[in-house]
């Protein structure tokens, strides 16, 4: 009897210790990756990193100014495509199509698309936009990023709208507001902070994406002349540079990795904090 008791306690202790170790492992890996990225990345960051064009291997200096500009522009364009679409689709799910078959299908597809392989999105956009026009372009890159953002925007919009109380809708309608008037001037305002964070999370998700850009925006060593041509971007440059045999390109790649990681993590942390308070407040 006592023996069994002892065995139970030992097993319990053992599992507790293992479980604590796994948590320590998680934190350790985060620290390890961040430390490597920061230590190696900071060495590459200077003024020229933000303002200059890449140089051929072996030449002094050089930066990724064009890539930073390209990534920013494509991400913003993607957001401009995905936000209106996603917002309206989210409104449909939260307001009109609660449990009808169509809404259930849209929800299911959105949830699947969130984790769909981004490289296949790249292939798809290549086929519809690059193959048909005959050239790679920043627009194609922005469209593939928008496709990846869309499901995130749809689902967070729906969640945030369903947190706004029913009484608020009824009050607005009772005061004579039309349905779209009620939506845009009352409900979306009430859910504003939640919606903004949803969009930011979607932006953070695509800002570090590489696979969908490989066949759409491609890359470019020059400053952009508009979006209708191959477009420099941080992630594909990082990929090419890291796979190259040159040490100075590796250094630039670590700099790019630092920039991407820091911006994505900062956006994620800030939005999680705001999202936490938004969920509580509404």
Partner 1 sequence: MTEKTVIRGGRGGAALADILFRWLSFALAATIVCLFAAFIVILIIEAWPAISAFGLKFPFSSEWNPVSERFGALVPVVGTLLSTTVAMLIALPISFGIAFFLAEISPHWLRGPVGTAIELLAAIPSIVYGMWGLFVIAPLLSGYVEPWIIAHLGYIPIFSGPPMGIGILTAGMVLALMVIPFIAALTRDVFMMTPRNLKEAAYGLGATRFEVVRDVMIPYGKKGIVGAVFLGLGRALGETMAVTFVIGNAHNLSWSLLAPGNSIASMLANEFTEADGVLYTASLIELGLILFVITFIVLGSAQLWLRSGPGGKRR
Nearest CB to partner 1, comparing residues 51 and 120: 120
SS3 assignment, position 97: coil
Tokens encoding 200? 């930011």
Burial environment of residue 53 by CB neighbours within 10 A (0 to 12, 13 to 18, 19 or more): middle
Among 42, 43, 76, 108, binds partner 1 (CB under 8 A): 108
Tokens encoding 117? 């392989």
With binding defined as CB under 8 A, does residue 112 bind partner 1? yes
Nearest distance, CB of residue 193 and partner 1, angstroms: 19
Query: x/- site string to partner 1, residues 63 to 102, per CB under 8 A?
Result: ---------------------xx--xx-xxx-xxxx---x
> DSSP secondary-structure letter at 216?
T
Reference 110, options 142, 152, 145, 140; nearest CA is 152
With binding defined as CB under 8 A, does residue 2 bind partner 1? no
With binding defined as CB under 8 A, does residue 126 bind partner 1? yes
- Contact by Cβ (8 Å): 172, 182: yes
Q: Which of residues 174-203 bind partner 1 (CB under 8 A)?
A: 176, 178-181, 183
CB half-sphere exposure, 253, CA atoms < 13 A: 16
Tokens encoding 264? 């994505």
Nearest CB to partner 1, comparing residues 115 and 225: 115
Nearest distance, CB of residue 64 and partner 1, angstroms: 14
Q: Which of residues 229-258 bind partner 1 (CB under 8 A)?
A: 235, 238-239, 242-243, 250, 253-254, 257
């Amino acid at each position: 009897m006592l023996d069994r008791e002892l065995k139970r306690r030992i097993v319990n202790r053992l599992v507790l210790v293992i479980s604590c170790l796994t948590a320590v492992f998680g934190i350790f890996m985060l620290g390890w990756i961040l430390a490597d990225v920061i230590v190696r990345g900071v060495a590459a960051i200077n003024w020229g990193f933000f303002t200059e064009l890449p140089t051929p291997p072996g030449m002094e200096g050089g930066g990724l100014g064009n890539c930073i500009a390209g990534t920013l522009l494509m991400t913003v364009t993607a957001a401009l495509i995905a936000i209106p679409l996603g917002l309206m689709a989210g409104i449909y799910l939260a307001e009109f199509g609660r449990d009808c078959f169509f809404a259930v299908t849209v929800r299911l597809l959105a949830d699947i698309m969130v984790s769909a392989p981004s490289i296949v999105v790249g292939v798809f956009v290549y086929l519809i936009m690059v193959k048909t026009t005959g050239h790679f372009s920043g627009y194609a890159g922005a469209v593939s990023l928008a496709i990846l953002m869309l499901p995130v925007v749809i689902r967070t919009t729906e969640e945030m709208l369903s947190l706004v109380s029913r009484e608020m809708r009824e009050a607005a309608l009772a005061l004579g507001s039309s349905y779209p008037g009620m939506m845009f001037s009352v409900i979306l305002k009430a859910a504003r902070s939640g919606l903004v964070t949803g969009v930011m999370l979607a932006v953070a998700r695509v800002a570090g994406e590489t696979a969908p850009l490989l066949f759409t925006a491609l890359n470019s060593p020059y400053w952009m002349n508009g979006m209708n041509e191959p477009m420099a971007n941080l992630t594909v440059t990082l990929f090419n540079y890291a796979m190259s045999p040159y040490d100075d390109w590796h250094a630039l790649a670590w700099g790019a990795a630092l920039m991407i990681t820091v911006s994505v993590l900062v956006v994620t942390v800030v939005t999680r904090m705001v999202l936490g308070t938004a969920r509580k407040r509404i």
